[in-house]
Structure 1
Amino acid sequence: MSNFQASRREFLRLSTLLSTTGALGMATPFAVNLATVASAAAQTNVNDYKALICLFLNGANDHANTVLATDSSSWSQYQTVRTTSEAGSIALPAVGTTGGVLPIVPNTIQAGRTFAIHPAMPELKTLFDAGRLAVVANVGPLFVPTTLEQYKAASVPLPPKLFSHNDQQSLWQAYAPEGAAYGWGGRMGDLLAANNSNPIFTAISASGNTVFLSGRTVRQYQVGSSGAVAISGINGNLFGSTTASNTLRNIITTDTANYFQKEHAAVTSRAIAAQSMLAPAMAPAGANGVANPSQYKNPNTGVLANNSLATQLQTVARIIAGRNTLGVKRQVFFVSIGGFDTHDAQKTVQADLLARVSHAIAYFDSTLTNLLGSDLRQQVTLFTASDFGRTFTSNGDGTDHGWGSHHFIVGGAVKGKNIYGNFPVTGLKHAQDVGSGSLLPQYSVDQYGATLANWFGLSASQISDIFPNINNFTTRNLGFI
């Protein structure tokens, strides 16, 4: 490598040629470069502030116990299929019984249907009833509108590697299987980052690295539970010596002729500069800033415990509170909670996880009501996503991998107290059952994301650029926001 005299620019160009892949896994540098130029030319100017938060439920949340149809016919089918002889039967108690599902009444009536949500989510029922939360029924990856007959015959393009966790997480976040380079959160950031005086704070993850926030030009910025993560030992004393700390800083930031050292120094310098800007801009945690979340109650044990998801959302709120200092108008955030791969012990495991989700979302909504004196609920929208739904059939005390799933949208701009889409038939062997009650999606992720992108301020042509399959669908905007 010492004899390789390529410039940094040339190295980056070659790296891009080698690492950039298209939906079919083929290198597409020329198309990507053209799209990047077009995207830069089409950036949108905005004057207001908006933030979009993706809450990802890692492991594939069981939608059929999260939002349920409770009319007599549906409930009979539900109990028949989901009640097993196993001690771990996954059927939930009925409305009005001890620990029963919580009724919700949508503004738009679906003839003959009534609905409820999981009993561990009373806070979300309150938000639904208040009109700040909506349900979007049966969303999942699709390339084109697909019928059950077309699916069985494979007569239309189908999403690759269905029912695979890693690949479907990537399809949800980046419209391609594992190995995708760009996510739709990052691509939205690409087109809107010019509105931010500090573009580095456009796409922020409070939950580690995620392809969802990877843009072509925008880099995701990762924060910890306490906010911006500082590099240890480069400020103050190191081993009792300021000279040592200064020396360490020089070692890790000094430019050199070696490309790898040069790039490492550039990344490190950028991280130091970003941390020095973000740390003082964030609102403090606690009584003098963004209130700490209360503990949530485990519905299985009644024991109070800390909720790490609520802490992630507190970090997001603290960054949003510093939006004016940071000079940002558009931000995309990512938070997540894992454990939803409930092949076993689903009734207890999912109850605890959904209790955390409900508690955290309610905390975030309450925090935005008065964020350092401002009500920002109208300007901030949170949506859920997950690998896929799960089978309607039980494997005894759990469920297996599915496809379509129901999701929540939360915020002041949301047209809440509604279920969007025709709620699927409850049971087996119907027009959306691809096997074991796994749902053929009614809406594509592209339609779901495009609706959010439209609210975020992107034009129709930009949305078509971000969501490669949206033009295959008649309905581009699902109308929930």
Structure 2
Amino acid sequence: MHKHNPSRRSFVGNMLALAGGSSIPFTLNLAAMGNAAAQGADDYKAIICLFLNGGNDAFNTVLATDSGSWSEYVRLRTTPDSGSIALRGVGLSNGVLPITPLSAQAGRTFALHPSLRPIKDLFDAGRAAIVANVGTLVQPTTLAQYKAGGAGLPSRLFSHNDQQATWQTLQTEASASSGWGGRIADLVASGNSNATFTNISAAGNALFLSGRQVRQYQIGGTSAVPINRLNESLFGTPASANPLRQIIAGDSSDPFRKEYAAVTARAINSQATLASAMLANGAAGVPNPTLYTDPATAIASVNPLAVQLQTVARIIGGRAALGIKRQVFYVSLGGFDTHDFQRVNQATLLARVAHAVAYFDGVMANLQGTDLRKQVTLFTASDFGRTFTSNGDGTDHGWGSHHFVIGGAVKGKDIYGSMPVTGLGHSLDVGSGSLLPTTSVDQYGATLASWFGLSATQIVDVFPNIVNFSNRNLGFMS
């Protein structure tokens, strides 16, 4: 049984998280916004975590297409009852998309899933890179060490909740207290005039953004949503005498009510500040995303992931008014737990990712007349990869996976790390073709953190396992 300690500090921290506030004291001063704008954000940088919830199948995302690899792929991913989940059939008649990395891997050729045409274009243009076989690791691990088990392995491998938590916090779900995005935000928040808007989620509460001091600000839709009827006539009273604000944010002698009111007041003020900055600065030059076309049905519709990235772009557009120089964002897309109907479902999901990322790249290319692509970097993450073998018409939970890093500061058109052998029974096969990672999440994140401006000492604080790896910077950022 857990013992609860209803201390004032823990209560304030929890309430601030709900309000999107910060436990770092701040004073809202709307009059000072002009000064913040004057300071500008010449040194502005942002990183955006795009989390693919459910465990994206890497073998269908980045494919080895040399003769031996492709033969194994087709052999192991073709089943009598479902037909091939190789890249054929509905919406995929054009075949895979060949890519030519700058760093050749002897005897190997590669391609992207047909739904990823916009990301291939970014790769070819040098603004996208692939980081191969990334996964949760405590230390470099061999197949023999994995089979022996022990403390050197991440806990509860292949579990959605635990591996999502480990990816985002480097701890299991039961012990997770702060995410590495939040810990980065803790270290850079002092450079922002208003720490409240340092780490922002457009996809609900995110472990990734939970800091030790700074709390994530959560935003839904395309703008910061106010409390309804707060500044208008209510029950016949004039707006100036509206009792609602006093009810929810009025002072009290009772400690619980006093803290609740203080947090609510901060939330109200923060909403007003962000909405004003987004309206005055962020909305201009941020067009609505074009409709996304499902490759399986050819039906056009709104892409929710593109809308999340539109919101991120609008907040970035308001950076000067907010006095922000460093921001960490979180967006996500679900549905990647493709035990069934993988061939069609993953094609749809990857098309959404590619559509949203291409839209965002286009917006960053000319946000309010400025090309911000070298200052904004987006990277993908996911629970884990999947098995190489098929369960019939899908795949099961795996471990290592391939990921994209996208932005103008990325050393693109290349694959970082070694692409695993395609097949079964090799030195990285922990079962059914599930990959033993050769690159850790710590190394992946530390490379981004170094570009963001963190020192070597700060990186060790954010990524506790990085001390176990000799290569602490993978080199994919300029």
TM-score normalized with structure 2 length: 0.90
Partner residue of 1:23? none
Partner residue of 2:224? 228
Q: Equivalent residues in 2 for 1:43-442 (5 A)?
A: 48-93=43-88, 98-155=93-150, 157-179=152-174, 180-242=176-238, 246-283=242-279, 288-442=284-438
Partner residue of 2:28? none
- What is the CA–CA distance in structure 1 between the aligned matches of 2:275 and 2:251, rounded to whole Å? 25
Shift of 1:257: 2.6
Deviates more, 1:371-380 or 1:154-163: 154-163
User: Per-residue CA shift, 1:250-304, capped at 9, x if unaligned?
Assistant: 0111122323222211211111111111111115799943111001110001111
Partner residue of 1:24? none
- What is the CA–CA distance in structure 1 between the aligned matches of 2:103 and 2:347, rounded to whole Å? 28
User: Per-residue CA shift, 1:445-464, capped at 9, x if unaligned?
Assistant: 00000000000000000000
Q: Equivalent residues in 2 for 1:14-29 (5 A)?
A: none
- What is the CA–CA distance in structure 1 between the aligned matches of 2:444 and 2:294, rounded to whole Å? 31
- What is the CA–CA distance in structure 2 between the aligned matches of 1:14 and 1:92, rounded to whole Å? 52
- What is the CA–CA distance in structure 2 between the aligned matches of 1:16 and 1:252, rounded to whole Å? 19
Shift of 1:184: 0.5
Shift of 1:159: 0.4
Select which of 446, 452, 455 maps to 2:448: 452
- What is the CA–CA distance in structure 1 between the aligned matches of 2:111 and 2:339, rounded to whole Å? 23
Shift of 1:14: 8.6
Give the 3 Å change call, closer, same or farther, for CA 245–303 of structure 1 in structure 2.
farther
Q: Is the 8 A contact 2:365 2:371 kept in 1?
A: yes
Give the 3 Å change call, closer, same or farther, for CA 239–399 of structure 1 in structure 2.
farther
Q: Is the 8 A contact 1:88 1:345 kept in 2?
A: no
Q: Equivalent residues in 2 for 1:451-470 (5 A)?
A: 451-470=447-466
Shift of 1:470: 0.2
Partner AA of 2:228 in structure 1: S
- What is the CA–CA distance in structure 2 between the aligned matches of 1:317 and 1:411, rounded to whole Å? 14
- What is the CA–CA distance in structure 1 between the aligned matches of 2:81 and 2:281, rounded to whole Å? 46
Partner residue of 1:29? none
- What is the CA–CA distance in structure 2 between the aligned matches of 1:414 and 1:58, rounded to whole Å? 24
Deviates more, 1:195-204 or 1:179-188: 179-188
Partner AA of 1:268 in structure 2: T
- What is the CA–CA distance in structure 2 between the aligned matches of 1:358 and 1:133, rounded to whole Å? 12
Partner AA of 1:12 in structure 2: R
Give the 3 Å change call, closer, same or farther, for CA 230–14 of structure 1 in structure 2.
closer
Q: Is the 8 A contact 1:285 1:292 kept in 2?
A: no
Q: Is the 8 A contact 2:232 2:239 kept in 1?
A: no
Q: Is the 8 A contact 1:139 1:404 kept in 2?
A: yes
Partner AA of 2:48 in structure 1: I
Residue 11 in 1 paired to residue 11 in 2? no
- What is the CA–CA distance in structure 2 between the aligned matches of 1:348 and 1:464, rounded to whole Å? 42
The alignment partner of 1:78 has SS state of helix
Point out where structure 2 has 5 or more consecutive residues left out of the alignment: 15-23, 25-40
Shift of 1:246: 2.1
Give the 3 Å change call, closer, same or farther, for CA 368–13 of structure 1 in structure 2.
closer
- What is the CA–CA distance in structure 2 between the aligned matches of 1:426 and 1:238, rounded to whole Å? 66
- What is the CA–CA distance in structure 2 between the aligned matches of 1:415 and 1:15, rounded to whole Å? 42
The alignment partner of 1:163 has SS state of coil
Task: Give the length in aligned residue pairs.
Answer: 445
The alignment partner of 2:264 has SS state of helix
Deviates more, 1:46-55 or 1:361-370: 46-55
- What is the CA–CA distance in structure 2 between the aligned matches of 1:238 and 1:113, rounded to whole Å? 69
The alignment partner of 1:383 has SS state of strand
Shift of 1:226: 2.0
Q: Is the 8 A contact 1:61 1:341 kept in 2?
A: yes
Shift of 1:65: 0.2
Partner residue of 1:41? none
Shift of 1:88: 4.9
- What is the CA–CA distance in structure 2 between the aligned matches of 1:472 and 1:378, rounded to whole Å? 30
Give the 3 Å change call, closer, same or farther, for CA 16–315 of structure 1 in structure 2.
closer
Partner residue of 1:20? none
Tell me how large the CA RMSD over aligned residues is: 2.2
Percent identity over the alignment is: 64
User: Per-residue CA shift, 1:109-137, capped at 9, x if unaligned?
Assistant: 00000000110111001000000000000
Give the 3 Å change call, closer, same or farther, for CA 13–364 of structure 1 in structure 2.
closer
The alignment partner of 2:242 has SS state of helix
Give the 3 Å change call, closer, same or farther, for CA 83–245 of structure 1 in structure 2.
farther
User: Per-residue CA shift, 1:34-70, capped at 9, x if unaligned?
Assistant: xx9xxxxxxxxx9610000000000111111000000
Q: Is the 8 A contact 2:177 2:210 kept in 1?
A: yes
- What is the CA–CA distance in structure 2 between the aligned matches of 1:288 and 1:326, rounded to whole Å? 16
- What is the CA–CA distance in structure 1 between the aligned matches of 2:297 and 2:8, rounded to whole Å? 56
Point out where structure 1 has 5 or more consecutive residues left out of the alignment: 1-5, 18-35, 37-45
- What is the CA–CA distance in structure 1 between the aligned matches of 2:221 and 2:142, rounded to whole Å? 44
Q: Is the 8 A contact 2:281 2:317 kept in 1?
A: no
- What is the CA–CA distance in structure 1 between the aligned matches of 2:372 and 2:135, rounded to whole Å? 29
Give the 3 Å change call, closer, same or farther, for CA 85–458 of structure 1 in structure 2.
same
Shift of 1:239: 3.9
User: Per-residue CA shift, 1:212-269, capped at 9, x if unaligned?
Assistant: 1011110100111122121112111234533697211001111223232222112111
Partner AA of 1:59 in structure 2: G
Q: Is the 8 A contact 1:285 1:291 kept in 2?
A: no
